[in-house]
Structure 1
Amino acid sequence: MRIAIAGGGLGGLTLARVLHRHGIDAVVYEREASRSARSQGGMLDLHPESGQQALAEAGLTDRFRSAARPEGEEHRILDPAGRTLLHHKPQPGSFSGRPEIDRSVLRGLLLDALPGDAVAWQHRLVAATPSPGGGFGLTFDGGHKTDCDVLIGADGARSVVRSLLTDASLSYVATLVELNISDADRRHPDLAELVGPGNLWCVGVNQILAAQRLGDGSIRVGISLREEDRDIDTYRSKRALLDMFEGWDSSLTALIEAGDSAPAPRRIEAMPIGTRWANQPGITLIGDAAHLMPPVGEGANQAMLDAAELAGELAANPADPDSAIRTYEEAMFARTQPIAEMSARVQAMMLSPTAADDIIRFFTPRPTEPAPAD
């Protein structure tokens, strides 16, 4: 059974690792030239019921705990004047919650746990064609071709594999602009103190200025804005961004001014909630290729859980991969629909006129209801 995984992100690598633990070989086809070809983004919190569970299936819990930063769970929410609305401090050294880990560190941990030939770098899939006798023919940028018996699309928002299963279209839900501040403790100690060891959100009307501390001492700044018709290049100017935050406290907007280079904007898109497809032999999707959601903390976690569950089904039924895929898809559809609904609600809440009040209520623990009287 020749298994091809399109995409070497967290989902694709988790799938390859769990399959490898079960003695099943797979090749990950990744468009990047090497593991260090580009930045992997900021940090993410791994949830016990999804991302951490997937790492347990991959046999990597101990390595994760060695690399993760529980202190990164610290979370402060401010208003545009710089007043603290909420400040969550995790229990020092505790892994009971959702410890943070840099995406690049997590990806490296997964790569290090795979055989050296498990990833075919510089292989950007441009076409997949069903073969007459079953399986698929794969064509990569540059003309290289190969075949596989089972094709798994882990190739993200713009998935090539998805088009073989569904014509679901993406919708534009927000704009995210990112900047990076390197060596913050030395170069910008005031900003380092402001952000702290974890996440900072500065919440205004229809916009959020956020920052997070990475393990290498840098600060990743993210500006979330509602979807607009303006040209995406508008957001490449610090001056234009500062104008959007006019009236905010200068200690907050300093996060924009301190960026090492020009801002990097991108449109945030999502798939229709409840997207499904008819099961087809030898092909399926995981992660953003299957259920692209707004980036509110679930995407990577669900991708990794998809991978672990699909690998488990394939390992349990290696003689009938089509049945394994069918079982995986039904469970995945049922699991991810309510999560996609919740993610859409959170995204809308965060960029609403009443975002500050709504977010505080969202993060404030509800008191335990008293037990009913006998």
Structure 2
Amino acid sequence: MKIAIVGAGPGGLALARVLHVHGVEAVVYERESSRDARGQGGMLDIHSGQQALREAGLMAEFLAIARGEGQDMRLLEPDGTLLLQEDTPDDAPLVRPEVDRADLRDLLLDSLPEGVVRWGRAFESAGDGLLHFADGSSAEYDLLVGADGAQSRVRALVTDARPAHIGQNAVEVGIPDIDRTHPELAAMVGRGTYWVLGDGKSLAAQRNGDGRVRIGVSFYHTGEDWFATSGIPFDDPAAARARLIELLPGWHPRITALIEACDDTVVPRSFFTLPVGLTWPSRPDVTVLGDAAHLMPAVGEGVNMALLDGARLGLALAAHPDDFPAAVEEYESEMFERTAAVARKSADMKEMLMSPDAARRLLAFFQPG
């Protein structure tokens, strides 16, 4: 029986690894040309996803790359008022450690036998047991698993649902080697996340494992076409930084100094979600996981759900090696219930972040009573 996984992100790789641990073969098809074809993004907050890494037999390796100090947090209002500072003791348990996305992906890739991941295979379509790729090649499958992210092509085989814009657009910038280049800003940000919220906007600065501070400036209650009218000249990094600061009137210069110190990588990002509680009639030969199945607001849950999806589907397939339809139905039933609850909480968190008094509400969330 041939299992084809489309997408070499955390969820697809976790599935391949759990299957490998249980002696079940699978092939992962990835559109990128190699593991180093592009940057993999920033830090990930891994909490419930640790259970999946245990099932994959990779907890020791994960703990070796996890950053406990990444759990530190500083919460501020735009005028510079510090509302909360949490510094993680060195001996604190790794309940929600941060890990560099690239390091996690490398960990999962290195845990798989050579040849399991087929690079440069951009999925185009599937039917009658054949996958078709953009380069004209094809491959057979008995079960197709879409782990191909927010803009999944496999998703269309199980549901007509499409992601909808959530009223949030962000600009991603960053400061490389901050401890050496801007030690005063490094001390201000701290070891984890530096979070400023207010006026329908937010700035989140986060330490990466390579010494870079990754900064996301979000604008809430904005439409899908907001970048076209924002006046941010993305082809001119210096002017883009200046415009970003203009869009934060009244923010303390100590905070906007983070934007002034950024390099020339300026990336626009729009945010979308799938309907909360999305389900579909189970199919015996196709299913999806991760963002392809339940795209949520970016509040730290997506990758954890993807890892759990991969592990749970892998365990179901290993338990029913001769009955893929039963395995898929078992996986989807559990996944629908688990992720719907998390998606509802994520949507509530998104509404909190978009509120006029977001910082104070978030303070109450972290320190109830």
Shift of 1:231: 4.0
1:187 aligns with 2:190: no
Shift of 1:269: 0.1
Secondary structure in structure 2 of the residue aligned to 1:308: helix
1:165 aligns with 2:158: yes
Secondary structure in structure 2 of the residue aligned to 1:337: helix
Amino acid at match of 1:190: E
User: Which residue number in structure 1 is paired with residue 49 of structure 2?
Assistant: 51
Shift of 1:232: 2.1
User: Which residue number in structure 1 is paired with residue 299 of structure 2?
Assistant: 296
Unmatched tracts of structure 2, length 5 or more? 235-239
Residue correspondence of structure 1 range 214-233 to structure 2 within 5 A: 214-229=208-223, 230-233=225-228
1:281 aligns with 2:274: no
Distance 1:96 1:192 in 2: 23
User: Which residue number in structure 2 is paired with residue 83 of structure 1?
Assistant: 81
CA contact (8 A) 1:71 1:93 kept: no
Shift of 1:190: 1.6
User: Which residue number in structure 1 is paired with residue 143 of structure 2?
Assistant: 150
User: Which residue number in structure 2 is paired with residue 63 of structure 1?
Assistant: 61
Distance 1:273 1:15 in 2: 23
Shift of 1:9: 0.4
User: Which residue number in structure 1 is paired with residue 339 of structure 2?
Assistant: 336
Unmatched tracts of structure 1, length 5 or more? 367-374
Shift of 1:144: 1.3
Secondary structure in structure 2 of the residue aligned to 1:253: helix
Deviates more, 1:222-231 or 1:321-330: 222-231
RMSD: 1.2
Once the two structures are superposed, what CA deviation does each residue of 1:121-159 show, in whole Å capped at 9, x if it has no partner?
Answer: 111111122x1xxxx311111211111111000000111
Amino acid at match of 1:232: F
CA contact (8 A) 1:172 1:227 kept: no
* Matched-pair identity in %: 48
Amino acid at match of 2:159: T
Deviates more, 1:228-237 or 1:62-71: 228-237
Shift of 1:262: 4.3
Once the two structures are superposed, what CA deviation does each residue of 1:234-284 show, in whole Å capped at 9, x if it has no partner?
Answer: 443222211111211111111212221142111100001111100111111
User: Which residue number in structure 1 is paired with residue 23 of structure 2?
Assistant: 23
CA contact (8 A) 1:238 1:262 kept: no
Q: 1:244 aligns with which of 244, 247, 258?
A: 247
CA contact (8 A) 2:174 2:265 kept: no
Distance 1:35 1:94 in 2: 33
Residue correspondence of structure 1 range 190-205 to structure 2 within 5 A: 190-205=184-199
Distance 2:368 2:46 in 1: 20
Secondary structure in structure 2 of the residue aligned to 1:290: helix
TM-score when normalising by structure 1? 0.93
TM-score when normalising by structure 2? 0.95
Equivalenced residues, count:
359
Distance 1:156 1:163 in 2: 12
Distance 1:19 1:155 in 2: 18
Distance 2:274 2:259 in 1: 30
Amino acid at match of 1:4: A
Distance 2:247 2:265 in 1: 16
